[in-house]
């Protein structure tokens, strides 16, 4: 598979996989299960694709016929009880489809400022009671729900930041504990959470899931085989 471009939430990097039972530096784990909120970023403008790629149906696989964005959302909802979908102003079609598929929808009023503004809007909508945030991209519809559960589980076990890794490359989604709430709320611009990732240890989870590295940029991406790099 052709290597993808770097994404702003979790730039591709070699993985230092966490050893079984290893805990990342973090606050003590509460006595009750942590509330991890999924944040699906769906506020992009699909400029490279040429039309709204989130509304394009997948051509094959178990989600054949399902729009790209809805397929990505369904996988989040299969793994998490609470999911916020972030859309841009005026995108009523995406907002409606995300709401029908089970997400709470929030409009990122500053979506034109870049992915950082969308992440901030999603974290704000998640509420102060959230114990962590799992940030995913709506143009990545092939991530296995088991992978999403693994990242959420790492946060519940005390990880400060967690992300999946496939064949030595870090991918999506990326989980952040609530200790990063203020920094996430302050994000803006096209660099997303890159500065946060660079400043803190990341628990990398080794998964057999090439979907963590594959997004939809062009129509050719929809037909490409789902294999590792």
Instruction: Report the pLDDT value the prediction gives residue 25, as an integer from 0 to 100.
Output: 35
Instruction: Report the pLDDT value the prediction gives residue 32, as an integer from 0 to 100.
Output: 55
C-alpha to C-alpha distance for 159 and 113, rounded to whole angstroms = 29
CB-based contact 39:193 (threshold 8 Å)? no
C-alpha to C-alpha distance for 215 and 229, rounded to whole angstroms = 13
Instruction: Report the pLDDT value the prediction gives residue 44, as an integer from 0 to 100.
Output: 85
C-alpha to C-alpha distance for 49 and 119, rounded to whole angstroms = 22
Regions of the chain short of the pLDDT cut 70: 1-33, 47, 225-229
C-alpha to C-alpha distance for 121 and 109, rounded to whole angstroms = 8
Instruction: Report the pLDDT value the prediction gives residue 9, as an integer from 0 to 100.
Output: 56
Domain limits, the chain: 36-220
Residue 155 CB-half CA count within 13 A: 30
C-alpha to C-alpha distance for 3 and 155, rounded to whole angstroms = 28
Instruction: Report the pLDDT value the prediction gives residue 189, as an integer from 0 to 100.
Output: 81
Instruction: Report the pLDDT value the prediction gives residue 192, as an integer from 0 to 100.
Output: 75
Instruction: Report the pLDDT value the prediction gives residue 33, as an integer from 0 to 100.
Output: 65
CB-based contact 131:176 (threshold 8 Å)? no
* Residue 52, Cβ density class (10 Å: 0-12 exposed, 13-18 middle, ≥19 buried): middle
CATH number of 36-220: 3.90.550.10
C-alpha to C-alpha distance for 64 and 213, rounded to whole angstroms = 20
pTM here is 0.86
pLDDT in tens, 61-102: 899 999 999 999 999 999 999 999 999 999 999 999 999 999
How many C-beta atoms surround the C-beta of residue 99 within 10 A? 13
């Amino acid at each position: 598979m052709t290597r993808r471009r770097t994404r702003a939430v979790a730039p591709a990097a070699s993985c230092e996989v966490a050893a079984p039972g290893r805990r990342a530096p973090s606050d003590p784990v509460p006595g009750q299960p942590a509330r991890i909120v999924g944040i699906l970023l769906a506020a992009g403008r699909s400029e490279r694709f040429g039309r709204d790629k989130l509304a394009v149906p997948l051509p094959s696989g178990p989600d054949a016929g399902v729009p790209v964005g809805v397929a990505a959302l369904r996988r989040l909802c299969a793994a998490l009880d609470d999911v916020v979908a972030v859309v841009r102003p005026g995108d009523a079609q995406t907002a409606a489809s995300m709401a029908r598929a089970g997400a709470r929808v929030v409009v990122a009023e500053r979506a034109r400022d870049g992915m950082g503004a969308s992440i901030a809007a999603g974290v704000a909508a998640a509420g102060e009671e959230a114990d962590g945030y799992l940030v995913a991209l709506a143009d990545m519809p092939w991530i296995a729900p088991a992978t999403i559960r693994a990242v959420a589980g790492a946060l519940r076990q005390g990880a400060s930041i967690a992300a999946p890794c496939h064949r030595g490359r870090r991918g999506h989604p990326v989980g952040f504990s609530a200790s990063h709430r203020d920094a996430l709320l302050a994000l803006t611009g096209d660099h997303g959470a890159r500065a946060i990732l660079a400043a803190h240890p990341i628990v990398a989870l080794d998964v057999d899931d090439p979907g963590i590295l594959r997004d939809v940029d062009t129509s050719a991406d929809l037909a490409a085989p789902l294999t590792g790099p």
